[in-house]
Amino acid sequence: MRHMSLSRARLVPATLLAVALLAAACAEEDDTAGTNASPSGSASETADACAKENLQTHTAGKLTITTDKPAYEPWFVDDAPENGKGYEGAVAAAVADKLGFTPEEVVWTRTKFDAAIAPGPKDWDFDINQFSITEERKQAVDFSSPYYDVTQAVITTGASNAADAKSLADLEDLKIGAQVGTTSYDAIVSVIDPSSKPAVYNTNDDAKQALENGQIDALVVDLPTAFYITAAELDDGVIIGQLPTEGGEQEQFGLVLDKGSPLTACVSAAVDSLREDGTLDQLVDEWLSQAGGAPVLQ
Amino acid sequence: MTVPAQAVPELSAAQQDRLRYRRGQARRSRLLAGVSTVAFLAVAGAVIVLSPGWSRVKEQFLDVQVARDSLPAIAEGFWLNLRILVVCAVLIVVVGLGVAALRTLRGPVFAPLRIMAAAYTDIFRGMPLIVLLYIVGFGVPGLRLSGVPNAPAVLGSVALVLTYGAYVAEVFRAGIETVHPSQRMAARSLGLTYGQTMRRVVLPQAVRRVTPPLLNDLVALQKDVGLISVLGAVDAVRAAQIEVARTYDFTPYLVAGLLFILLAVPTARLADWVNARAARRQQAGGLV
């Protein structure tokens, strides 16, 4: 009896160690697979690699695209990304087409922001949801080439304290809000730098409610959203103006892919060719045309 | 009764063997427990560290630099949590005790009060806190009544007090009803009024009995205070969320979680201490 229990006591840690070593072996294997698949080479080299049958998509033969729920106008229409309407809906459809997928081969899913940037395995190929490209964020995810140059804008209602604001200085002493997780929030902090802390909401819908209630004086959103909200959603909505870009750096939206995704190079190539052949400009005209001039605040 | 050391009888050889064997066994099992614990931790650690995604998880959840950078903003948010917690905790006890007192009123005349108190607990215990936050936080200022505050911290606190007041009222009521009726009868027969009976006889016993569940609710409240962030206030979790969105690095969430644990641990120790003290006082005659 004594002898047996002793040998079992030795056996258990030994087995666990073996399991750990096995996991380590798998880890190495996985790493090499990752490096092999990582994007490399010029456009001519990738042309063949980006043929539809060579793409390592999440589901073979399908392109799985994801966005947040609800998906807002003017980026999507009717919260139905699969209809190809709205600027991002149309860009996603155009990218899928460039990669050789028919509309029937495109699968749409919904992913919350935190899940999109988490390190775990992804059950989609790319996420299109007004993700701004920054160097810091590139350490956690892959971005495609940019598909839209965006600026931030300040909006309010005619009844608000901010209705007469004409400059950044006029905004300084007001209560300003933004949606959490947006570069709009960063713009409030870095460009306006208001005296009272910005209010931060889960969604732009909540922020709009607070604006209508007078709980905040103004709201910062991206310019196309600003045009949509002031025209279609707010009573007596007003765009005060665009915010100057911080450090003169143009903010751009990119498609988000898993870090080290084998598709990044091909998706980027597709976006690049859409820009070069004028498709992106055409889609901007079609879906974001009213998002034209608003004075840049000084 | 004490036996002098010299008086210990000589142990038989067999007994000495037995004792030696038992000591050996005890030493061996301690050693084995130690080795197996170390081995388990080593393997568990190895499985995590050697997992294929470890380097990314480490980068995105355990980045010391990000933690250091995000701490000031999160601490500032946590300070808001603490202030709201203290104010709400006091108000919740007042509301809870008041409602419990109304609900336990005797006498047919007080039926409307009892019904109102029961309706309050039914409604606000059943209503999801997040829904109530939206109603109070965005609905009330929407009325644009003058003199009504529209600060998210104030409106959020009102919603918290309404919800938690209902929970705590039921805890107090449970405590009040566990006090044996003979206590009330004895008090009334001594000439105490109803109010005096409640204040001097019933409540002191009731409150002591429900202290553990009350502290339980306090710990739950510590975490729910953060929900007021849906109204625009930046609490610790929201501050962490802002940092996460900026860097796409989850470390700030861990920092916020750590702060909440640090707050919960003293509360748990306080609960233990209060319970121990109550036990000491109630068993003044010694353990039975």
Using one digit for the tens of pLDDT, what is the confidence trace for B117-147?
999 999 999 999 999 999 998 888 878 777 7
Tell me which residue has tokens 């202290």. Answer: B211
Most confident of A21-25, A236-240, B160-164: B160-164
Residue A5 half-sphere exposure toward CB, CA atoms < 13 A = 5
Residues of chain B in contact with residue A1, where contact means CB-CB under 8 angstroms, are: none
Q: What is the pLDDT of residue A19?
A: 52
pTM for this entry:
0.73
Residues in chain B whose beta carbon is closer than 8 A to a beta carbon of chain A?
32, 35-36, 39-40, 43, 46-47, 50-54, 56-57, 59-61, 138, 141-142, 144, 150-152, 229-234, 238, 241-242, 244-250
Phi, psi of A225 (to 5 degrees): -65, -40
Residues of chain B in contact with residue A18, where contact means CB-CB under 8 angstroms, are: none
Q: What is the pLDDT of residue B284?
A: 63
Among B36, B232, B244, beta carbon nearest to A13: B36
Closest C-alpha to A22, from B58, B42, B52, B36: B52
* Single-letter code of the amino acid located at B247: T
Answer whether residue B63 shows pLDDT above 80.
yes
Binary contact (A215, B141; C-beta < 8 A): yes
Element (H, E) at A156: strand A152-157
Residue A72 half-sphere exposure toward CB, CA atoms < 13 A = 15
- The 10 Å Cβ neighbour count of residue B232 is 30
Reported as a pLDDT band with limits 50, 70 and 90, residue A38 is very low
User: What does the pLDDT average to over A239-243?
Assistant: 89
Answer whether residue A45 shows pLDDT above 60.
no
Answer whether residue A32 shows pLDDT above 70.
no
User: What does the pLDDT average to over A212-227?
Assistant: 90
Check if the beta carbon of residue A38 is closer than 8 Å to that of residue A104.
no
- As given in the structure block, the two tokens for residue B197 are 């009976």
Check if the beta carbon of residue A225 is closer than 8 Å to that of residue A86.
no
Query: What tens digit of pLDDT does each residue of A74-94 get?
Result: 899 998 998 989 999 999 999
Q: What is the pLDDT of residue A293?
A: 67
- Which residues of chain A from 211 to 240 reach within 8 Å of chain B, CB to CB? 212-216
Q: What is the pLDDT of residue A59?
A: 87
Closest C-alpha to A182, from A141, A222, A226, A241: A222
Q: Where are the alpha helices (DSSP H) in chain B?
A: 13-49, 54-61, 64-103, 111-126, 129-134, 140-142, 152-178, 181-189, 194-196, 203-224, 236-247, 251-282
Query: Chain-wide mean pLDDT for chain B?
Result: 88
- Interface ipTM: 0.71
Q: What is the pLDDT of residue B34?
A: 93
Higher-pLDDT residue of B79 and B150 is B79
Residue A108 DSSP SS3: strand
Q: How many residues can be counted in chain A?
A: 298
Answer whether residue A36 shows pLDDT above 50.
no
Q: How far apart are CA A199 and CA A180, in angstroms?
A: 9
Higher-pLDDT residue of A69 and B39 is B39
Pairing relation of β-strands A251-257 and A142-150?
A: antiparallel
Closest C-alpha to A166, from A22, A295, A2: A295
Answer whether residue A23 shows pLDDT above 80.
no
**B150-189 exposure pattern, b = at least 16 Cβ within 10 A, e = fewer:** bbbbbbbbbbbbbbbbbbbbbbbbebbeebeeeebeebee
Binary contact (B245, A113; C-beta < 8 A): yes
- The 10 Å Cβ neighbour count of residue A287 is 22
Tell me which residue has tokens 């205070």. Answer: B225
Q: How far apart are CA A232 and CA A95, in angstroms?
A: 29
| CB contact A96 to B (< 8 Å) | no
Reported as a pLDDT band with limits 50, 70 and 90, residue A108 is very high
In Å, the largest CA–CA distance within chain B is 94
Beta-carbon contacts of residue A285 (< 8 Å; ≥ 6 apart)? none
| CB contact A186 to B (< 8 Å) | yes
Among B56, B138, B245, beta carbon nearest to A181: B245
Query: What tens digit of pLDDT does each residue of B156-210 get?
Result: 999 999 999 999 999 999 999 999 999 999 999 999 999 999 999 999 889 888 9
Residues of chain A in contact with residue B247, where contact means CB-CB under 8 angstroms, are: 136-137, 139-140
Residues of chain B in contact with residue A14, where contact means CB-CB under 8 angstroms, are: none
Q: How far apart are CA A42 and CA A124, in angstroms?
A: 25
Nearest-CA distance A144 → chain B (Å):
16
Binary contact (B60, A119; C-beta < 8 A): yes
Residues of chain B in contact with residue A9, where contact means CB-CB under 8 angstroms, are: 32, 36
Beta-carbon contacts of residue B85 (< 8 Å; ≥ 6 apart)? B221, B222, B225
| CB contact A41 to B (< 8 Å) | no
Answer whether residue A131 shows pLDDT above 70.
yes
- As given in the structure block, the two tokens for residue A183 are 């570069």
Closest chain A CA to residue B36? A13
Residue B159 DSSP SS3: helix
| CB contact A176 to B (< 8 Å) | no
Reported as a pLDDT band with limits 50, 70 and 90, residue A31 is very low
Most confident of A43-52, B6-15, B85-94: B85-94
Q: What share of chain A is helix, strand, coil (3-state, %, to 5)?
A: 45, 20, 35
Tell me which residue has tokens 């929970």. Answer: B167
Q: How far apart are CA B219 and CA B214, in angstroms?
A: 9
Q: What is the pLDDT of residue B287?
A: 53
Q: What is the pLDDT of residue A147?
A: 93
Tell me which residue has tokens 């306080």. Answer: B270
Higher-pLDDT residue of A43 and A178 is A178
Phi, psi of A179 (to 5 degrees): -80, 145
Reported as a pLDDT band with limits 50, 70 and 90, residue B6 is low
Beta-carbon contacts of residue B210 (< 8 Å; ≥ 6 apart)? B171, B172, B174, B175
Query: Chain-wide mean pLDDT for chain A?
Result: 81
Binary contact (B234, A197; C-beta < 8 A): yes
Closest C-alpha to A27, from B63, B39, B57, B62: B57
Nearest-CA distance B264 → chain A (Å):
26
Reported as a pLDDT band with limits 50, 70 and 90, residue B79 is very high
Provide the phi-psi class of A79: left if phi over 0, else alpha when psi is between -120 and 50, else beta. left
Q: What is the pLDDT of residue A286?
A: 86
